[in-house]
Amino acid sequence: MNGLCSGRVAVVTGAGRGLGRAHALALAAEGAAVVVNDLGVGLDGTGAATGPARQVVDEILASGGQAVAHGGDIATTEGASSLVRTALETYGRLDALVNNAGFLRDRMLVNLDEDDWDAVLRVHLKGHFLPLRHAAAHWRAEAKAGRTPTARVVNTSSGAGLLGSVGQGNYSAAKAGIVGLTLVAAAEFGRYGVQVNAIAPAARTRMTEAAFADTMAVPADGGFDAMAPANVSPLVVWLASAACAGVTGRVFEAEGGRITVMEGWRPGPTVDKGARWTPAEAGEAATKLLADAGTPLPAYGAQ
């Protein structure tokens, strides 16, 4: 099968449903052999089933592509290492890692208990770090052996991680952490032939349909479905391919037919006294700087 990712091997976490499924199918359609990871858990991360990953693999095989299922927990060292091993033992190589797995346990901060905080940070942030670490260790070894790869990592952040989202303190913190992780990994792994980028997608999935039911309905007239997960996947495929050479450390927002390069923190208005401020002076200086600064965008759900 020819395509943008022909001959490449890609791993996609959380690929049994929603965005991950769409990414896996799109990668396979462009010629990649795909390791489809999914624990098959519920929306809140409980339970487990091998069915969703297996169904996606069956879809890919039926269309003439190559795929294998992986049911390990990628937020554990063994699960993440076995994910990389599955790609290497099945296909002999690993070219792209798409970190996508996650779930929600939404609460207002005053009602958010420690278990819900830990569970969401674990699956989103640790579930990005561990597969990234094990994949990068393989790529570093390849580079040191004189076989520098053309490797790609696509992480999944969110608008909640960029702006915050009311009722999603744990999720927002995890997704913001993923942006920081992306920037560090891009800086550290470039010498090994690895490019690392992130997307902040918006689409209709189990994680979003309840919050955005009014705006995410499937068009009744059969027109363009702006909230279909498959709309996000073409950008992911490109970022996972060799075609995006030189693109690293970037965050892209993707929704419907729109792609936006997100521009993060950068210095705005500044003043330097050249000596220590008094508290009153610092407050006066900060007030003047704020008057010259742009107005920040509100958190999602803010009144």
Catalytic residue among 91, 126, 171, 300: 171
Strand ranges for the chain from DSSP E: 9-12, 33-37, 66-70, 96-98, 151-156, 194-202, 251-255, 258-262
Q: What Cα–Cα distance (Å) separates residue 80 from each residue in 1, 60, 160, 245?
A: 28, 23, 25, 26
Catalytic residue among 81, 82, 157, 158: 158
What is 98-127 written as a DSSP string?
Answer: E--------B-GGG--HHHHHHHHIIIIIH
What is 282-296 written as a DSSP string?
Answer: HHHHHHHHHHHSPPP
C-alpha–C-alpha distance, residues 71 and 58, integer Å: 15
Catalytic residue among 91, 126, 165, 175: 175
Is 175 a known active-site residue?
yes
Neighbours of 237 (CB within 10 A): 25
C-alpha–C-alpha distance, residues 240 and 167, integer Å: 32
Which residue, 118, 187, 112, is CA-closest to 153? Answer: 187
Residues assigned a catalytic role: 158, 171, 175
